[in-house]
Structure 1
Amino acid sequence: MKPRKNGASLGFAVQDHGSFLFTRTSGVTVRNALEAQVHGAAPVALLTIDFAGVDAMTNSFTDEFLGKFYLSLAAGDSDVQGVQLVGLSEETRDAVTVCLERRKQIAVDGDDGVLLGDAAMLADTYEQARQLGRFRTTALAEALQVSLPNANNRLKRLVEAGALKRNRAAGPEGGGKEFVYSLPGAPGNEQVP
C-alpha cells in the first residue's frame, strides 16, 4: 500500500441544488455532483458538506444523497480522509439523523463537533479522540478503559465515517502495522515515527 498524499480541503454547498430537496432521483443527482467534485479534487483531506440555506429535505432524498455517500465512503470508494456536515438547521439535522440511524452510520456535525446518527456508543470515543488530538490505539484504550480490540473496532467506525483520520506510523520493533489517529484537517498529519 503506497502512502496517501495529503489533500486539500473541499466544500460542497447543498443549497446549489435547491432549498427544499425531495425524491430519491434528486438525491442521486446531488450525490453524483458531490462525487464528481470529490473525484476532481482527490485526494481530499477534509470534505465539508454545507447545508446552509437548505430549508428542508425528505428522508428519501437524504438517504439517497447522504446515506449512500457514506456507504461509498466506508467502502473506500472515495479518496476522502475526513467529512463534516455544517449549516444544519433543526429540520435538516432531523432528516440527517434519521437517515444515519436507519443505516447505522455516523457523521460529524462540524458546527458543534458532535456525532450525529447511530452514535450512542461512539460519542464518548469521539470526544476522547478530540481531547487526545493525535494518538495511538493504546492511548485511547487506556483513556476509555477498554480493551485494544474494542478500541480498534470503535476507531474503525470513526475512520470509515470520516470522523477521524488514520496514518501509518513507523512499525514497532517486532514488526506489524501501527497507526496514529487524528482529526481530519488537523495540521501535522504526516507519518509519525
Structure 2
Amino acid sequence: MRSMKAKKYALTFPVSEPGTFLSTRGEGAHKRSALQAALRSAGPAPVLEIDFTGTEAMTHSFVDEFLGKFYVSLAVGDVQVAGVILIGLIKETRESVAVCLERRKQFAVQGEDHTLLGDTNVIPDTYARARKLGAFRAQELAEALGISVTNANNRLKRLVQAGVLSRDRAPGPERGGKEFLYTLP
C-alpha cells in the first residue's frame, strides 16, 4: 500500500493502489476504519486529503460505506479535522462520489479545481464567495450574497460540517452573543 504523507498541516490518505476496483461495503468499512485510525494518530485536526489516485472504479456501496459514513461522522463531530478535500478522482470515480453524496444530502470539495461534488443546490455560490472573501463573518457573507444572516449561517454550518470551512470564535462581538470568523482550511 502507498504510504500516508504528512504535509505541514495536511494528512494525505491514499485510498487504494493503482489499478484498484473497490467494490464492497466490507471494503468500505475497512478503509473508513483505517482513515479514522490515521486521523487519530495524526494529532490535532489536520487538513485531510483523501487521495483516490489509482482507483479505477468504485461501486456505490463502497463509496457510501467509506465516504458517505465518514462525512456523517464529520458532521456529528465524531471526527475532527480542519478541512477535507478529495484528490485524484477520475471521471468514473468522481461520478460514484457525486451520486453517494447527493443521496445523503452531503457534499465535498474536489481538491484539484476546488469544485463541489454532491448535494450542491445553493452551496456553490456560497463556497465561491467564501473563497473570494478568505476570512469573514456571517454578516459579511450575507451582505456579499444579498441574503439574510440566518440563511448565511445555515449555509456556513453545512460548509463547516463538510470540512470545507473552518470556524473560530471571533474576538469581541459588537452586538453581544457569539460571533464566528470563517476561513478556508
> Is the structural similarity TM-score above 0.5?
yes
User: In 2, distance between residues paired with 1:174 and 1:130?
Assistant: 26
1:134 aligns with 2:143: no
User: In 1, distance between residues paired with 2:39 and 2:18?
Assistant: 16
Runs of 4+ in 1 over 3 A off after TM superposition: none
Measured after TM superposition, the shift of residue 132 of structure 1 is 0.6
Measured after TM superposition, the shift of residue 44 of structure 1 is 2.3
Matched ranges for 1:163-174 at <5 A: 163-174=164-175
Instruction: Give the 3-state SS of the residue equivalent to 2:98 in structure 1.
Output: helix
Segments of 5+ residues of structure 1 without an aligned counterpart are 1-6, 185-193
Instruction: Give the 3-state SS of the residue equivalent to 2:54 in structure 1.
Output: coil
1:110 aligns with 2:111: yes
Task: Report if aligned partners of 1:42, 1:80 keep a CA contact under 8 Å in 2.
Answer: no
Equivalent in the alignment of 1:178: 179
1:97 aligns with 2:98: yes
1:19 maps to a residue whose letter is T
Equivalent in the alignment of 2:85: 84
Change (3 A) 1:103 1:11: same
Equivalent in the alignment of 1:39: 40
Instruction: Give the 3-state SS of the residue equivalent to 2:89 in structure 1.
Output: coil
1:67 aligns with 2:68: yes
CA deviation vs aligned residue, 1:66-118 (integer Å, no higher than 9, x gap): 00000000001112120000010001000000000000001001111111000
User: In 1, distance between residues paired with 2:41 and 2:17?
Assistant: 18
Segments of 5+ residues of structure 2 without an aligned counterpart are 1-7
Matched ranges for 1:134-173 at <5 A: 134-173=135-174
CA deviation vs aligned residue, 1:102-155 (integer Å, no higher than 9, x gap): 000010011111110001210100000001111111110001000000000000
1:114 maps to a residue whose letter is T
Instruction: Give the 3-state SS of the residue equivalent to 1:55 in structure 2.
Output: strand
User: In 1, distance between residues paired with 2:151 and 2:50?
Assistant: 30
TM-score when normalising by structure 2: 0.93
Measured after TM superposition, the shift of residue 43 of structure 1 is 1.7
Q: Aligned residues, how many?
A: 178
Task: Report if aligned partners of 1:42, 1:79 keep a CA contact under 8 Å in 2.
Answer: no
Measured after TM superposition, the shift of residue 19 of structure 1 is 1.1
1:116 maps to a residue whose letter is L
Task: Report if aligned partners of 2:18, 2:53 keep a CA contact under 8 Å in 1.
Answer: no
Change (3 A) 1:32 1:148: same
Instruction: Give the 3-state SS of the residue equivalent to 2:55 in structure 1.
Output: coil
1:112 maps to a residue whose letter is D
User: In 1, distance between residues paired with 2:16 and 2:46?
Assistant: 22
TM-score when normalising by structure 1: 0.89
Change (3 A) 1:17 1:66: farther
Measured after TM superposition, the shift of residue 177 of structure 1 is 1.0
CA deviation vs aligned residue, 1:17-64 (integer Å, no higher than 9, x gap): 971101100000000000000011132231000001000000000000
What is the percentage of aligned positions where both structures have the same residue?
60
